[in-house]
Structure formats: structure tokens, C-alpha cells
Amino acid sequence: MSITQDNNTQTELLENVIATAQRLVKAEKDKSRVTPAFIAEKVALATFMFASDTPEMVDEQHAVMVLIQRFSHRIGKSTTMKSDAGHVDWLVSSRKRDWLYWRRYRDFLESKLADVVVDGVDEATDDILRLLEDPRRTDPWDRRGLVVGHVQSGKTSNYSGLICKAADAGYKIIIVLAGMHNNLRSQTQMRLEESFLGYETTANRDPGMPIGVAEFGENLKTNSATTRAENGDFSKAIAKHFHGISPEERPWLFVVKKQKTVLTALLQWIKTRVADSTDAEDDRKLVTKLPLLMIDDEADNASVDTGEQVFKDDGTPDEEHQPKTINSLIRQILHAFTRKAYVGYTATPFANIFIHHKGATAKEGPDLFPRSFIINLAAPSNYIGPARMFGKMTKEGRTAALPLARDILDHYDPASDSGWMPPKHKKTHQPLYGGEDEVPPSLRQAIGSFVLACAVRELRGQGGQHSSMLIHVTRFVDVQDHVREQVEKTVRQMRQRISRRLGAEEALEHLHQIWENDFLPVHQQVTGLSAEVDRPSPMPDWEQITTVLADVLEDIQVRSINGTAKDALDYAIPGAALKVIAIGGDKLARGLTLEGLCVSYFVRSTKMYDTLMQMGRWFGYRPGYLDLCRLYTSPDLVEWFGHIADASEELREEFDFMAAANLTPEQYGLKVMSHEVLTVTSPLKMRNAQTLSLSYSGTRPQTILFHRDAQIQQKNLDATDTLISSLGEGWEESIQYGRDGDPDRWPGARLWKDVDYSKVVEFLGTYTTHPNASSAKAAVLSEFILKMVETGQLKKWSVALLSGGSGTGDVHTFPNGTPSTSYFMRKTEDSENADEIDPKKFAIGVLTDPKDEGIDLGDDAWREALTLTRAAWKRDDARKRVDPPSFPSGKGIREIRGKLGGEADRGLLLLYPLSPYFYKGQHPERLIVPGWSKPIMAFATAFPASDNSIKVAYEVNLLYWMQEYGPTE
């Protein structure tokens, strides 16, 4: 019998003790009494209740730790942007008094989650339901919204709660669009059986075994037209067995794939069996008596009418997943109901925001733009997202990142574009390392890390929980199968050597090296970066590890994840804790949750923001084992995920400001498009493959991408000299403001105020920005300024030349006698490996310091900007937003520029001389641009927010886009 099977009874006992102790603690009305000692007392009582004869089977210390964490976590409040057009307020406390679905789901959640998290789900789902319409309202209504969560943060829990409340309120048909593949649809069906139905579905659609919420409330006899089986989706054959639906019945649940055949069958059934009326104008069949709630999981995937064809592995078009067809069918289903609500859920909302807000047809009705509301969900404080995983970029470089990423450099040879897994390969590719049919050393080390993670979890009392490893290196199934065979061989050899003691010394030494050089130091670092309540348990010693290695290796299975329902079902077997290495491709990339994910081995060529985020299966919750997690990936993807962390934070801050200003979803879309990094979603998903249309008001474009060309650098330095010469001698220097006792200083900087816009436009006309820069394009910025000037805006500017950095380079004397030898050091994305350096361009992570945007603002305007920043701020521990801001954000400063008028109502051009050297630590290693040792001139433009903003358009180079960022899905 394996160690996992041995632990099943013990795990079940521990779960019962934790759930009971949690209820006992929660019953205490005086919350000041809830201390670690008080929790330990209740755990001891629960242990006596459940295991009086065998108390040694309960790890009370572990139970106490789990409960201390649950009672210490925080969750911020969601932020909402909404439009009340056509909406009638309806959700009052009296409507919630007799809710049964929600009451039992809440009890179910409270048995396994912290109270504060359950309260967060309750509050957020109330916010969403309130923005939908009263299902008892009989006249026609149509509400469309979007809920933006975090990848792997619990969106399913949220929409499960929304479904329960909607059913209680009177919604009769609930359709959940659950991804494109059987495994995700099946997983979603099982989650909803657990959280909403209360029973396992069977082949004949009759209720099976009670599960989940059934333990916490009465049998509510809810109907499900779909089941958890591989063939449990809706179909023509199934439709024959379902006749009309009576308004008096309990609600009906449909969990369906976004697939042409499935959605066509569902639409046809609605028209022929459910419709009770006909539209007077176009004879459309209509459902008037049954209000519809449609939940669109992963709403940015397949639902949006991009016109972008999806292809099968063999390169032929996949008609089942034609986005135009999927979008049309979803809209037709909605259009068949006179009373309907559509709620999309996603962590990457960019495609949804690019939907034309006025798109509509007679056949399909309105497009899916979330015109009624967008809600930004907060994540609990123990959520591990991009901000915690990859840290935050500052002008000194990236800080506070968890030390869990490991570079993969041996998967291919860039010089010959060959090797084990080149970024571009065919479905016939044979993965060979050094000519041998085996995995590269980095993957061997990743597998070793997974084995050690499983061993430590066993010794920490987590052996009864799932542990998994993800290998995602190719989208081709045949190549995945070959990789699976290689991984199986690697695990088998390790198992045989250690369990049979044949050549065990070499295998143990390999694991011991990983343990000493990686696991022990990282444990210390993660402990130092974690809040006290989330600190991992102490590490066992090596001798303890060796005692469980043989059993751990015996339990590890290697599997392909190929989109079947079995992939999801495997995790649903009661009492079976899996240790699985999952090898997959695109079908693993979206939605499917790998339980207990410890190690990811990830090689992917795309840099599309939304695609990368969705592939980030390693985000989520890692209670008690965060220090054991590892991400093996290429250095450029670590850089890109860092960009994503920063860009995500900036986008959410933008959202918070706009929500605080009571703006609507339609006013939000333009802000997304004008971001340097977040425009990295396919232009096809923007509904227009030719141009981007941007508004720069309230934004701060900055140069972060540069030519690696000495002649162009000379031209840009000359453009800067010409501008400074034209500004004359009326500058301010040694700039300093009081700032309420915490002064802002810019030693060595020069500031010119009331500069005519023409000088800024002339500078932009002679400065050469890189053609691949997404928003800091000099020609487009010039056009925007000129168009704004025509409306009476942006006529006056401030120009600042900043200095005082710690970098080096040749002395350059700017006009009017400003010598500079101290240039700003900005960390470039150059590799230390010369073979990997792009000979034509280089990039830096961040240019501006937020405080620089206030260089021309007096203390009064600065305080106004701080007030705006604080008004938009909400505590969010998952985003490391714990203490209210003590200085205004760049966004707050730009908002105030557009509101104060007078002194503040002007654009700001910031000029930065950057050091020409690539730095290793604090030491200059080599010139970034061959033959160029003078300063590299960079700039940022801070535009005031404006209620009368102008759009400018520019051409998108689609060929470049595909070459640079790779495919979208």
C-alpha cells in the first residue's frame, strides 16, 4: 500500500477536526479572544470529539496553523464601473431573507475557507447581482457586464455564489459557457455540482450521489441538462428528451462548451421547445416567461468576434471554434430572451474592452461589450499573483520578487535554431538533447525539484493533498507524447535506483545538491518575504527526506492532458491524493486547474499579454508550500511576466481612478489601448487589423524601446540640444518643494515653465523613436498635441532636464552650460550572453520615477493630487497595497493637471540622459550601443486628463506583431 493511500483516513480526520474547530472559533462573539492559544484549545476539543481513541492520527499543530492563517487573511473590496441606463434598483434585504441556495453554499464555503474570504464572496456577488435586473420584472431588459478577477484566484467560487443567489432571486435558466474543451467543461460541471446542484449528475440526468452543498441544506431538486461525463454536454440527442420548461420549476443549469455544434443545438432547442412568443417585427421566436442568466467563463476566449480563425494541430481550420460563429451563436441565444443578463468572467479583459460598444445586428442583437458594468474583484491576501511572484519594477530594477523562477537555457541552441525544443518547430519534431532521446538537464532538475516538494509536503502533513507538476513546451500532441515518454523514463530510472538501491548514490546526490543549493536557501528567503501568518513551516532535515523518497517516487504518475473529461475527473476521486506530472499544450493553458501545482516547466514563444497571463497556471494559492514551488522558464518570459505585473497594476489603478470618478465602461476602453505593454494583445482582438485609435489624455507615454544605432543616438542627442537651446536661460534649478515635511528634491535638474507647444512638437519631429514602440511614437504624439491645441488645450508645457543619476558615460555639455557626467542607470533587458542580444534594439524596464511628474507642481497642487490618489486607493493585500499612499501616484498627478487649470493645466516633457553602459550590479560592463559612450536620450510625456480628449490613429504592422509576439492562443 502506498504512502498516499495510507494517509487517506488521516486526511479525512484532519479535515473534520479543522472544520469543527473553525466553527467553534467562529462562535466566539468576543473576537479579541481569538488568539493562537484559543484556536489550539478548540482544535484539541475537536480532536477529542472526532478521534478520542486515536488522537495521535491528528496533526494538531498543522490544524492550528491552518486556522491561524484562515482567521488572519484579508480581502479588499471590489471596484465597480457601471452604467444605470435602463436599470431599476431592486436588491433589498427583504428579498434575501428566504434564500436557500446561497445559505447552504455559504455554509459549504465556511467549512473550508476563512470567514473574511467568504464575506468577500458574499459582498462581491451581491454587488454583481444588484447590477443585474430583478428576474421578477416582466418588461424586457438586457444587462451585460464583465467581472475581472485574477488568474487562478477563485473566479469559479464567485460565479458559483452568483448562480446560487440568482436562482434564489428567480432566474430560471442558467447557462454557463465553460471553455472550449471537454476537460474544462467537465471540471466546471463538477464544481457546480458541488456548489449549486448538490448531487453528482448521472448519464440519464437524474440526481446521483449527494455531494458538496448537500451536506449543508435541504435537497432543492435543481435540474441539470448537462453532466460531468465526456459526452455530457448538450446535444441534439439530449434535446429530444427535454420538453418545455415551466416557470414554476426549479432553475435549469446548462454547462456547455463554446463549440458550434453544442451552441447550435442549444439555440435550436430554445427556439422550438422553450420559446413562448414571436417578435412582431422579424418573427423571431422569443422566451418571455423565463429570465436568463448567462455566465461566460474565460469571456475573452472564443466569445469575442475577432475574425481570427482557430486551427487544429494539423494546420486545418477548426470550424467548431470559429470565433465569428461562436460570437454569433452566443448573441443569438441571448437575443431569444426578452429578459436576460450576460456576465463575462476573465482575468484578461482586453479583448472584451475592444469590442465595439455599439455593434449590433438584427439577427444577433447587440455585441457582448460590457456596457452595464465592469467589476474588478480583489483577491485574498494569501493570493500569489504577478505582483508577488515577479515583484515591482523600480528605476533601480525589479524588487521584492519571490526567488522561485529558474532560467531555462538548455532547451535549444539559438545559433543553429535547433535542439531539444526550439521556439519554432513542426509537429514532426523529435525532441533530442545532445543527439540523445532524453530530457535536458534543466528538466531533469525540475523533476528532481518536484520529487523533493512532494517529500517535504508529506513530512509537513500535506501528503493527503494533490501535488502536481506542469510541463508545457509545445502545442503539438505528437511532440507532447514524445516528451511524456522521456519524462516517464526519467522518473522510472530515479524510482528504480532509489527504491532498489541500484546506483542510488548518484540519484541521491543529484537530489541532495538541489536540496542544499536551492531548497534550503530559498526557504529562508521566502520566509523573509512572507507575512508572519503565511510563513512556511520549518524544513525537515535531509535524513527525513531520504526516508520518504521511495514511497513518493512510487506514487508519481506521468500523464498527458489532452482535453478529455477524464483529465478533470481524475482529480475528483474521493480520498485519492494524486502526485502527477502533467504534460500538455494549449488545452492545458486556459481554465483547467492543476491541484497543488508545485513545479512548472514552461517554454513558450508568445509574448501576447493575455495569452501569457492565461498560461500562468502557477498563480493562485499555495498554503504551506509556497517555498517549495518553482517556475522553470526562459529569461525573456520572466522579463515579460515582470512587465505584465507592472502593467496589470497600472491598469487596475487606472480602473480605480475612473470608478471613483463615476465613469462608465464605454469611457474605459480607450485607456487600455494607449498602454505601452497592455496593447500586446493581437490587433485582431481589437476588431481592427489595420489601425489603433488612441487617446493620450491622462497617460504618460515613455520611451522604453531604443535603436541600437550610434547615428540615431547622435540624432536624438542633437534634437535634445536644439530643444534646450531654444528654451533660453529662464530656467529653475535645484528644485525643491516642502511636501508637508517630506521634501521632494531634484538636484542638478533644470525646469522651464510656460514653454510654447511648438517647441515640444519640433523636438518630437526630430527625435527618432523605435518603430516597434507601441505608444511612445514621436510622430503620433505630435499629431495628438496639434489636435488638442486646435481645441484650446495643451498650448503650454513644462520641460525638465533631469540629472543626478549614478551612471557613467562621456561628459556631455548641454546648451547654456549644463555639463553632465552623472547619468541615470536604467536596467536593460539585455542578456549577459552576447549571442542573445538583439543587434537592432534594446529595451529598459521603466524610465520615470512617479515623483518626477510633480516636478513643476507646487505644494497645493501636489496635495490635491494626493487627495485624488487616496480617494481612488483601496486596501488590497494581494497587490501589496496595505498602507494608504503618502505621495500622489503619477495617475493622480495627471488627473489633477486636467482639473486645477492655471499653473497645473499644462503638459510635461521629461528628458532623461541615460548611461550608455550595460551594468552588472553597480558596475558598467560594456556599451549598450556599439561605439556610443555619450548619454542615450530618453523622454516621457505626461498629459493632463481631459474631458474633451481627441483620438489619434496609427497603422499597426501585423507582420511585425506576429514575428515579435507570436500567436495569440
Tens digit of pLDDT for each residue in 325-347? 888 999 999 999 999 999 999 87
Residue 609 has pLDDT above 60, yes or no: no
Reported confidence tier of residue 397, pLDDT bands at 50, 70, 90: low
Helix H or strand E encompassing 779: helix 778-790
Q: Are residues 932 and 838 in the same domain?
A: yes
Residue 956 has pLDDT above 70, yes or no: no
Reported confidence tier of residue 8, pLDDT bands at 50, 70, 90: low
Mean pLDDT of the chain: 84
Indicate the residue among 70, 89, 114 that finishes a domain. Answer: 70
Instruction: Identify the pLDDT of residue 172.
Output: 95
Reported confidence tier of residue 966, pLDDT bands at 50, 70, 90: very low
Q: Are residues 34 and 126 in the same domain?
A: no
Q: Are residues 128 and 231 in the same domain?
A: yes
The residue-averaged pLDDT of 196-205 equals 90
Cβ neighbours of residue 826 closer than 8 Å, sequence gap 6 or more? 395, 844, 845, 846, 847, 912, 914, 915, 938
Q: How far apart are CA 413 and CA 409, in angstroms?
A: 8
Q: Where are the beta strands (DSSP E) in 347-466?
A: 360-361, 365-366, 373-376, 392-394, 397-399, 405-407
Residue 298 has pLDDT above 90, yes or no: no
**524 lies in some domain:** yes
Which of 344-353, 560-569, 706-715 reaches the highest mean pLDDT?
706-715
Residue 430 has pLDDT above 70, yes or no: yes
Q: Are residues 85 and 66 in the same domain?
A: no
pTM given for the model: 0.79
Q: Are residues 357 and 261 in the same domain?
A: yes
Reported confidence tier of residue 189, pLDDT bands at 50, 70, 90: very high
Instruction: Identify the pLDDT of residue 679.
Output: 46
Indicate the residue among 24, 41, 70 that finishes a domain. Answer: 70
- The least confident of 158-167, 564-573, 631-640 is 564-573
Nearest one of 890, 936, 376 to 665, comparing CA atoms: 376
Q: Is 347 helix (H, G, I), strand (E, B) or coil?
A: coil
Concatenated DSSP letters for 531-564?
-GGGPPPPPPPHHHHHHHHHHHHHHEEEEEE-S-
Q: How far apart are CA 755 and CA 767, in angstroms?
A: 18
- The least confident of 390-394, 556-560, 622-626, 855-859 is 390-394
**961 lies in some domain:** no
Nearest one of 276, 221, 261, 269 to 241, comparing CA atoms: 269
458 CA to centre of own chain: 30
Instruction: Identify the pLDDT of residue 759.
Output: 97
Cβ neighbours of residue 212 closer than 8 Å, sequence gap 6 or more? 108, 193, 194, 195, 198
Reported confidence tier of residue 847, pLDDT bands at 50, 70, 90: confident
In the chain the first and final C-alpha atoms are separated, in Å, by 42
> 342 versus 353: which is more confidently predicted?
342
With b for 16 or more beta-carbon neighbours within 10 A and e for fewer, the 57-70 pattern comes to bbbbebbbbbbbbb
Alpha helices (runs of H) in 559-668, residue ranges in sequence order: 565-569, 586-589, 609-615, 635-660
The residue-averaged pLDDT of 347-354 equals 65
**513 lies in some domain:** yes
Query: Bridge partners of 339?
Result: 141
- The least confident of 446-450, 521-525, 590-594 is 590-594
Number of domains in the chain: 4
Range of the domain at 107: 79-376
Query: Residue length, the chain?
Result: 969
The residue-averaged pLDDT of 402-431 equals 88
**928 lies in some domain:** yes
pLDDT one-digit tens code per residue, 545-588: 999 999 999 999 998 887 665 665 566 666 668 899 988 876 55
Residue 4 has pLDDT above 60, yes or no: no
**417 lies in some domain:** yes
- DSSP 8-state code for residue 661: T
Q: Are residues 715 and 806 in the same domain?
A: yes
Q: How far apart are CA 254 and CA 181, in angstroms?
A: 15
Percentage of the chain with pLDDT > 70? 85
**383 lies in some domain:** no
Q: How far apart are CA 491 and CA 438, in angstroms?
A: 12
Reported confidence tier of residue 243, pLDDT bands at 50, 70, 90: confident
Q: How far apart are CA 732 and CA 303, in angstroms?
A: 55
Q: Are residues 285 and 430 in the same domain?
A: no
Instruction: Identify the pLDDT of residue 306.
Output: 56
Cβ neighbours of residue 576 closer than 8 Å, sequence gap 6 or more? 4, 8
Instruction: Identify the pLDDT of residue 388.
Output: 84
> 859 versus 953: which is more confidently predicted?
859
Indicate the residue among 624, 642, 660 that finishes a domain. Answer: 642
**CB distance 911 to 721 below 8 Å:** no
Instruction: Identify the pLDDT of residue 568.
Output: 57
Question: Would you tell me how many other CB atoms lie within 10 Å of the CB of residue 920?
Answer: 10
- Which CATH number goes with the domain that contains 370? 3.40.50.300
> 850 versus 157: which is more confidently predicted?
157
Q: Are residues 24 and 137 in the same domain?
A: no
**666 lies in some domain:** no
Q: Are residues 104 and 63 in the same domain?
A: no
pLDDT one-digit tens code per residue, 885-909: 889 988 899 988 877 654 556 899 9
- The least confident of 362-366, 611-615, 694-698 is 611-615
The residue-averaged pLDDT of 288-315 equals 74
**CB distance 125 to 345 below 8 Å:** no
Q: Are residues 832 and 862 in the same domain?
A: yes
**296 lies in some domain:** yes
Q: Are residues 325 and 444 in the same domain?
A: no
pLDDT one-digit tens code per residue, 768-825: 998 877 678 898 899 999 999 998 899 999 999 998 788 888 889 988 776 676 788 8
Tally DSSP H helices, then E strands, for the chain: 28, 35
The residue-averaged pLDDT of 294-313 equals 69
Reported confidence tier of residue 71, pLDDT bands at 50, 70, 90: confident
List C-alpha distances in Å: 666 to 83, 132, 352, 660, 697. Answer: 9, 18, 11, 15, 16
Instruction: Identify the pLDDT of residue 331.
Output: 93
Q: How far apart are CA 220 and CA 201, in angstroms?
A: 14
Q: Are residues 83 and 140 in the same domain?
A: yes
> 199 versus 652: which is more confidently predicted?
199
> 876 versus 866: which is more confidently predicted?
866
156 CA to centre of own chain: 15
Q: Where are the beta strands (DSSP E) in 380-453?
A: 392-394, 397-399, 405-407
- The least confident of 306-310, 434-438, 620-624, 725-729 is 306-310
Grid cell for residue 447: 523533476
pLDDT one-digit tens code per residue, 521-536: 999 999 998 877 788 8
